[in-house]
A and B are shown apart, each in its own frame.
Chain A
Amino acid sequence: MNTLILCVGLGLFCLVAELINIRKLLLPILLVGLGVLFVFTLTTWGTELPPSIWGFSMETMIRFDNFSIAFSALAIFITALVFMLAIDYYKTEENHITDYASILMFTLTGALVLFSYWNMAMLYLGIEIVSISMYIMAGSRKFDTRSNEAGFKYFLMGAFASGFLLMGIAMVYGATGSFVIEEIALYANGGNLSPLFITGLVLILIAFFFKVSAVPFHFWSPDVYEGSPALVTAFMSTLVKITMFGAFYRLLSLAFPGAISEVYTILFIVATLTMSLGNLIAITQVSFKRILAYSGISHAGYMLIAIMAIPVDSSAALFYYTISYAIAGVGIFAAAIPVFFFMNNEKVEAFNGLGKKNPALAFIITILMLSMAGIPPFAGFLAKYYVFSKAVEFNLYAITIIAIINSIIGVYYYFKVILAMYTQEPDGIEVKPTTLYWTVAIACALLVIVIGILPNTLMGLMS
């Protein structure tokens, strides 16, 4: 609860910073604040008191368990990494920095709600807070038509998905008579589910498929990723995606454990399509951001497998996957944004000859790309391994085989970037990232290696 209040406080502080004129110091102060928030979240591990406001118990609204604390800490960490990049990224736009920073902080607030909600109303509010912030950020380059298009497209699609979510929540409410997670679970476990309940669940699933950009609800994602400013894309493809998956897992594992077998076919088809189409279309792309968008879609497919394996408690596997995916994602953007900037080009060809021009940066991108592709000893490999082994434990053989074939296909397009860096001729334009970009990129690469070699600490947390 205090984490939430602190987070909102930091967001409000950004708005006040405009008045007291400390724009230059704003991001460093926020970084310190996020550090405090991170430590504070970790100290609440296993000791969080029942939430209450003014003596009113909020137990039907929000609950903090180890799942939510672990995901919250991860989200705060990712936000801190993105803010480190923001210091240099927004150097030329000092007038807007308070707006951007406050909106990103409020996005984090929404994420924290989504990791710990205990009520469908809170779920809806959390999703809206995250989504509306992202609509604004996607369109934040006001004079760039592609950014406008991204913001508008995301807004229209997202509003549609929110409509589905509301309709689904209303139907579930109609069947169960409650918004509270445990009462819905009570109904779902009772058997003899009414068709209203199943339809509501399917509509909620559709909304979440939109939000995590699963096929066939993925059409917004490549355009939005490509049109948004690169830093916003980094935020969207890491924090927002893991947030939506955290909320999705929480919903299905806590509210609908008894009904998940009813929608198993839907999950199977969507996960298969998401992995396969995401990978196959990614092969044909030339824009680096679009490749990452489609790679994000296929990763959503792998994470959906973790959702399918909920009955054998795949929360640790999902947590490990989101960590490895998000950290590699932020790292890739930390290394790629300077390349975009100096080459003035966001296609794969911008990376041509980077191996000769800036070997260290090329090496970091290679490590992160290999982790994304799932090659040992990096974290991405173990992430896939844990998810697949959970799936096998639950006898999901078909989807596991499809996923393994897909991860082999996926290696191809990650190597397209790596090959461009090492086999193409350089063109003489220097790429010199600033210290902060270096710091984040190196930290992410190191983390991917460390987590990949020593996974047991993280895996032990959730159990």
Chain B
Amino acid sequence: MELNIYILIFFAFGSIALLGGVYILFTSNVLRAAFSLLATMLAIAVLYLLLNADFLAISQLLIYAGGILVIMIFGVMFTNRFAERAMYTETHNRLPALLLTVGLGAIFYVSLFQLNFSSLSWQNQELNVQGSIIENVGVLMLSNYILPFELIAVLLLIALVGAVYVARKDHEVK
């Protein structure tokens, strides 16, 4: 294999993402798990950049690293204060979990590692993008993809109504 800078970056950040994921599995401290998830998310954002998917990388940073993880860490810190001790997780049902993981792993092994990637038709297509793809994404979202775009609005509206309903102060109905 020809060793160039892209492959080096891929393996460096790919292993950061993997190690972060593995650390989540083996730590029992929820706060540390949240921070290592942050590392995984950031590394994946870099992998997206390598694939020329700059829009995806920015969304990953904004939504996962910037939004979801901050909320998660806030949540852990707040509940820590009430419980007055660090939050720890436990492991249950090891044997079923092991069986499931091995089964799923076997399926992914067959489908991904046995696959001849160059046989996929789109693999050999020339990537015809100059500079950023954000403009294309924006145009497509408001033209050909307008219907899913509007449906996402409906989905978010439901989530909003549900969140307000669950969070609002209420008195018990008899």
Q: Is B5 an interface residue (CB 8 A)?
A: no
Contacts A61-B148, A122-B151, A199-B111 given; indicate if A106 touches B172 (C-beta within 8 A).
no
The distance in angstroms between the C-alpha atoms of A135 and B159, with both chains bound, is 10
> Do A195 and B165 touch (CB < 8 A)?
no
Q: Is A175 an interface residue (CB 8 A)?
A: yes
Which one of B121, B164, B173 has the greatest number of beta carbons of chain A within 10 Å? B173
Q: Is B119 an interface residue (CB 8 A)?
A: yes
Q: How far is the CB of A377 from chain B (nearest CB, A)?
A: 41
Q: How far is the CB of B16 from chain A (nearest CB, A)?
A: 22
> Do B107 and A199 touch (CB < 8 A)?
yes
- Specify which of A61, A99, A139, A174 is in contact with B120 (CB 8 Å cutoff): A174
Residues of A within 8 A of B130 (CB): none
Contacts A103-B161, A121-B148 given; indicate if A194 touches B155 (C-beta within 8 A).
no
Contacts A54-B146, A194-B120, A199-B107 given; indicate if A125 touches B151 (C-beta within 8 A).
yes
Residues of A within 8 A of B144 (CB): 56, 60
The distance in angstroms between the C-alpha atoms of A140 and B162, with both chains bound, is 9
> Do B161 and A102 touch (CB < 8 A)?
yes
Q: Is A456 an interface residue (CB 8 A)?
A: no
Residues of A within 8 A of B145 (CB): 61, 121
B162 (CB) vs chain A CBs: closest residue: A136
> Do B147 and A53 touch (CB < 8 A)?
yes
> Do A56 and B121 touch (CB < 8 A)?
no
Which one of B121, B147, B154, B164 has the greatest number of beta carbons of chain A within 10 Å? B147
> Do B155 and A129 touch (CB < 8 A)?
yes
Q: How far is the CB of B3 from chain A (nearest CB, A)?
A: 26
> Do B165 and A96 touch (CB < 8 A)?
yes
Q: How far is the CB of B10 from chain A (nearest CB, A)?
A: 18
Complex interface bits, B151-174 against A, C-beta within 8 A gives 1, otherwise 0: 110110111011011100010111
Q: Is B11 an interface residue (CB 8 A)?
A: no
> Do A58 and B147 touch (CB < 8 A)?
yes
> Do A195 and B148 touch (CB < 8 A)?
no
Interchain Cβ contacts within 8 Å, total number: 93
Residues of B within 8 A of A99 (CB): 161, 164-165
- Specify which of A132, A136, A143 is in contact with B166 (CB 8 Å cutoff): A136
Q: How far is the CB of A101 from chain B (nearest CB, A)?
A: 11
Within A286-322, which residues are at the interface with B (CB < 8 Å)?
none
Q: Is B1 an interface residue (CB 8 A)?
A: no
Q: Is B95 an interface residue (CB 8 A)?
A: no
> Do A142 and B111 touch (CB < 8 A)?
no
- Specify which of B110, B119, B155, B157 is in contact with A125 (CB 8 Å cutoff): B155
> Do A199 and B159 touch (CB < 8 A)?
no
The distance in angstroms between the C-alpha atoms of A128 and B148, with both chains bound, is 12
Q: Is A113 an interface residue (CB 8 A)?
A: yes
Within B92-147, which residues are at the interface with A (CB < 8 Å)?
107-108, 110-112, 114-116, 119-122, 143-147
> Do B115 and A196 touch (CB < 8 A)?
yes
Contacts A177-B120, A194-B119 given; indicate if A93 touches B173 (C-beta within 8 A).
yes
> Do B162 and A132 touch (CB < 8 A)?
yes
> Do B172 and A143 touch (CB < 8 A)?
yes
Ordered nearest first, which 5 A-B pairs have the shortest CB separation? A199-B111, A136-B162, A177-B122, A195-B111, A143-B172
Residues of A in contact with B (beta carbons under 8 Å apart): 8, 11, 15, 51, 53-54, 56, 58, 60-62, 92-93, 96, 99, 102-103, 106, 109, 113, 119, 121-122, 125-126, 128-129, 132-133, 135-136, 139-140, 142-143, 171, 174-175, 177, 194-196, 198-200, 202
User: What are 11 A-B residue pairs whose CB atoms fall within 8 Å in the complex?
Assistant: A51-B147, A121-B148, A122-B147, A132-B158, A135-B162, A136-B165, A136-B166, A143-B173, A194-B116, A196-B115, A196-B120
